[in-house]
């Protein structure tokens, strides 16, 4: 019991220390942060992020976030930079160097080299008076009082603050670029969000499997069509005009009322004015309509002509959820 209590106490203490450090970081945001964002936004090049140790891992995550939100970025490991990787930096690039102490040997060697060609250097450090702090054009203050671990050694609180400041940079740049959800989807076409925002009905519609009967069709013909196409529904047409739909639920309700099927036609049991959607509409729109009306199928039209049926299962197979 005591062991479990100590585990939870350590976890709570860690989260409290890190959340407090992030809260304090708000007070350190100043004109240098503003100028850093503006420099990144205005550059004709990219943002090159560098660091060593755990700061390097944080830098890689920040690069990933920036690239996915419209800011071209790349990562350069500080130790590899002086062995040839400096060649990846172009004259128009802005460089962000992340280092808690700002005084590590690699950073002391690298910082002057990063500025020799006139590149803007942004330092993210917990020590503004460090070598990195003094040699940077702008300093993003990532100060923390102590790490979360009891020995004040393992990068915990410091890397959490670095990560949060990287997110702050990314979100500020999102605002400046007016970066929308549709823009985000363009960089994530394979993910659920990308599919929701980009995938269209025509991309997943099976146009060859489109159940249809006429208004004069018999109930036997209607049942055969619904069973054959396996979508639980059929459209009812009068020539090329969509008159209604019949679902397997409509068939069951009809059978509850009568067993004499000889005189009943599709026209007698169809639902008129069915919910429909244009073939060039987004799949997300179809999903929203289905959810709003608590239905599982929609009639798809192409220039007001019947194009097929889209089923909720078709959408779910694409991994799209609301």
pLDDT at 80 over 80: yes
Output 178 or 124, whichever has higher pLDDT: 124
Contacts of 140 (CB under 8 A, 6+ apart): 32, 33, 36, 122, 123, 124, 125, 165, 169
Same domain, 160 and 77: yes
| Average pLDDT score over residue span 173-195 | 73
* pLDDT (average), residues 103-115: 92
The answer to whether position 188 is within a domain reads no
pLDDT band for position 4 (cuts 50, 70, 90): low
Whole-angstrom distance, CA of residue 156 vs CA of residue 158: 5
Dig out the tokens for 49 from the structure. Answer: 């992020």
Question: How far is residue 315's CA from residue 291's CA, in Å, rounded to a whole number?
Answer: 12
Domain that holds residue 296: 199-317
d(CA 144, CA 127): 9
Total-model pTM: 0.69
Q: Both 207 and 129 in a single domain? A: no
Summarize the confidence of residues 5-32 as an average pLDDT: 93
Model pLDDT, residue 192: 60
What confidence tier does 88 reach under pLDDT thresholds 50, 70, 90? very high
At residue 2, does pLDDT exceed 90?
A: no
pLDDT at 284 over 90: no
Range 170-186 average pLDDT: 83
What whole-number distance in Å separates Cα of residue 194 and Cα of residue 101?
A: 40
Binding residues: 77
Question: Residues marked as binding for Zn(2+)?
Answer: 77
281 plus 167 within the same structural domain = no
Contact predicate 103/132, CB 8 Å: yes
Q: What is the CATH number of the domain that holds 277?
A: 3.10.580.10
CATH code of residue 64: 3.40.50.10490
262 and 159, same domain (yes or no): no
Residue 192 located in a structural domain: no
Domain total of the chain: 2
Q: What is the mean pLDDT of residues 192-218?
A: 85
Average pLDDT on 52-76 reads 95
- What is the pLDDT at residue 59? 97
Question: Is 237 found in the same domain as 123?
Answer: no
User: pLDDT tens, 112-132?
Assistant: 999 888 999 999 999 999 999
Provide the mean pLDDT of the chain: 91
Residues with Cβ within 8 Å of residue 162, at least 6 apart in sequence: 55, 58, 98, 100, 124, 142
Triad 124, 125, 129: Cα angle to 5°: 125
Q: What is the pLDDT of residues 207-236, one digit of tens each?
A: 889 999 999 999 999 999 999 999 999 999
**309, 209: one domain:** yes
Q: Are residues 215 and 156 in the same domain?
A: no
Q: Which pLDDT value is given to residue 109?
A: 93
The answer to whether residue 258 scores a pLDDT higher than 80 is no
Pairing of strands 241-247, 233-238: antiparallel
Residue 198 predicted with pLDDT over 80: no
Residue 322 has pLDDT above 60, yes or no: no
Split at pLDDT 50, 70, 90, the class of 1 is very low
Tell whether the model's pLDDT for residue 193 goes beyond 90. no
């Amino acid at each position: 019991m005591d062991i479990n209590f100590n585990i939870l106490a350590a976890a709570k203490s860690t989260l409290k220390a890190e959340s407090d450090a992030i809260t304090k970081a708000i007070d350190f945001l100043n004109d240098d942060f503003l100028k850093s964002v503006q420099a990144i936004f205005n550059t004709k090049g990219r943002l090159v992020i560098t660091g060593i140790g755990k700061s390097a891992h944080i830098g890689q995550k920040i690069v990933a976030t920036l690239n996915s939100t419209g800011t071209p970025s790349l990562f350069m490991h500080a130790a590899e930079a002086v062995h040839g990787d400096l060649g990846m930096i172009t004259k128009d690039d802005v460089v962000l160097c992340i280092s808690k102490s700002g005084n590590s040997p690699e950073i002391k060697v690298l910082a002057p080299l990063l500025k020799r060609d006139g590149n803007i250097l942004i330092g993210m450090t917990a020590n503004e008076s460090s070598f990195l702090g003094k040699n940077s054009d702008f300093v993003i203050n990532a100060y923390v009082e102590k790490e979360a671990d009891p020995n004040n050694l393992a990068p915990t609180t410091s890397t959490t603050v670095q990560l949060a400041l990287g997110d702050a940079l990314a979100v500020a740049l999102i605002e400046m670029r007016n970066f929308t959800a549709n823009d985000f989807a363009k960089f994530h076409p394979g993910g659920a969000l990308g599919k929701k925002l980009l995938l269209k009905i025509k991309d997943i519609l099976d146009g060859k499997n489109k159940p249809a009967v006429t208004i004069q069709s018999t109930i036997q013909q209607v049942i055969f069509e619904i069973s054959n196409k396996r979508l639980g529904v059929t459209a009812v047409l009068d020539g090329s005009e969509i008159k209604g739909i019949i679902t397997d639920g409509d068939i069951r309700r009809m059978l509850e009322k009568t067993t004499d099927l000889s005189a009943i036609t599709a026209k007698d049991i169809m639902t008129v004015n069915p919910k429909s959607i244009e073939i060039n509409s987004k799949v997300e729109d179809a999903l929203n309509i289905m959810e709003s009306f608590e239905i599982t199928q929609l009639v798809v039209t192409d220039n007001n002509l019947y194009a097929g049926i889209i089923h909720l299962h078709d959408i779910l197979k694409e991994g799209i959820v609301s």
